[in-house]
């Protein structure tokens, strides 16, 4: 029997890697449904990247709008500055968007119920993760159970949807290594919290750029993106 999965795809390095992992794990007869969100993020360039990844994977791609702007305070959906101070694992940075993963997972489970996919793949990572509460395994385990309790399929059949987070225990280097083996086109992904500058370059100094650059450095592979400042 063929398997299918909904994949949360932001167009970043992690979720793009997850999309390739999901495609492999669903098998040649399986299907993946790629889901992105327009939630008031500072730039929509990552959505263009997500679309390119979806084209590469020849998979259905849908963008859902969620009106988070005006509802939450976050450097990622507002106008306040993106921090460039480096990663302190004890502090939740201003780039955190309250309940973002909760909202995205709830929408992904809703979509999975509709297209009758058995799995939801998502790129949460508990190693190089900027300290976001909604990237921790404890949250993910609880949320999977909660969303199954709200699902018609689970209530009617006792079988729930499976939330798969293949990157959860991986370092950024391990993620990149895995993705390179699967043929992920990292030149089509985007990680920088800021959009590209007029020359198409990432800033190289926000948390997301720092973590990505360190990962490629550890693997010993070149990052195909262009950077304004390389560390």
The CA-atom distances, in angstroms, between 153 and each of 80, 141, 147, 150, 157 are: 42, 19, 11, 9, 6
Nearer to a copy of itself, 28 or 157 (CB): 157
Nearer to a copy of itself, 131 or 196 (CB): 131
Identify the bridge partners of residue 38 per DSSP, sorted by sequence position: 65
Tell me how far, at minimum, the Cβ of 214 lies from a copy of itself, in Å: 25
Tell me how far, at minimum, the Cβ of 135 lies from a copy of itself, in Å: 9
Residue 209 burial (CB count, 10 A): 25
- For the record, the structure tokens of 105 come out as 């997972």
Measured between alpha carbons, how far is 132 from 76 in angstroms, rounded to an integer?
13
Tell me how far, at minimum, the Cβ of 186 lies from a copy of itself, in Å: 29
b/e 57-81 (16+ beta carbons within 10 angstroms → b): bebebeeeeeebeeebebbbbeeee
Nearer to a copy of itself, 128 or 134 (CB): 134
Nearer to a copy of itself, 154 or 227 (CB): 154
Nearer to a copy of itself, 16 or 151 (CB): 151
In what helix (H) or strand (E) does residue 105 lie, and over which residues does it extend?
helix 100-115
Residue 162, classed as helix, strand or coil, is strand
Tell me how far, at minimum, the Cβ of 216 lies from a copy of itself, in Å: 29
Tell me how far, at minimum, the Cβ of 229 lies from a copy of itself, in Å: 30
Tell me how far, at minimum, the Cβ of 86 lies from a copy of itself, in Å: 19
Nearer to a copy of itself, 147 or 213 (CB): 147
Terminus-to-terminus CA distance in the chain, angstroms? Answer: 48
What does the longest C-alpha to C-alpha distance in the chain come to? Answer: 55
Measured between alpha carbons, how far is 214 from 127 in angstroms, rounded to an integer?
13
Nearer to a copy of itself, 118 or 134 (CB): 134
Tell me how far, at minimum, the Cβ of 189 lies from a copy of itself, in Å: 24
Q: Which residues bind a copy of itself (CB under 8 A)?
A: 62, 64-68, 70-73, 92, 96-103, 106-107, 109-111, 113-114, 133-134, 136, 138-139, 142-143, 145-147, 149-152, 154-156
- Strands in 119-121's sheet, in edge-to-edge order, are 31-38, 4-8, 119-121, 162-164
In what helix (H) or strand (E) does residue 128 lie, and over which residues does it extend?
none
């Amino acid at each position: 029997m063929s398997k299918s999965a909904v994949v949360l795809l932001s167009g970043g390095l992690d979720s793009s890697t997850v999309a390739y992992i999901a495609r492999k794990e669903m098998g040649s007869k399986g299907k993946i449904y790629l889901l992105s969100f327009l939630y008031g993020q500072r730039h929509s360039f990552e959505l263009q990247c997500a679309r390119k990844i979806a084209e590469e994977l020849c998979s259905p791609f849908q963008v859902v709008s969620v009106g988070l702007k005006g509802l939450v305070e976050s450097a990622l959906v507002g106008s306040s500055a993106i921090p460039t101070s480096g990663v302190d694992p004890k502090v939740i940075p201003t780039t955190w968007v309250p309940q973002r993963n909760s909202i995205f997972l709830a929408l992904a489970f809703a979509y999975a119920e509709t297209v009758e996919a058995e799995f939801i793949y998502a790129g949460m990572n508990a190693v190089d993760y900027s300290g976001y509460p909604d990237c921790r395994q404890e949250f993910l385990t609880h949320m999977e159970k909660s969303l199954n309790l709200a699902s018609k399929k689970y209530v009617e059949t006792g079988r729930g949807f499976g939330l798969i987070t293949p990157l959860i225990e991986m370092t950024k280097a391990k993620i990149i290594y895995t993705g390179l083996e699967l043929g992920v086109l990292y030149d089509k992904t985007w990680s920088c919290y800021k959009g590209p500058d007029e020359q198409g370059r990432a800033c190289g100094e926000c948390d997301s750029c720092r973590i990505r650059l360190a990962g490629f450095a550890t693997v010993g592979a070149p990052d195909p993106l262009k950077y304004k400042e390389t560390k």
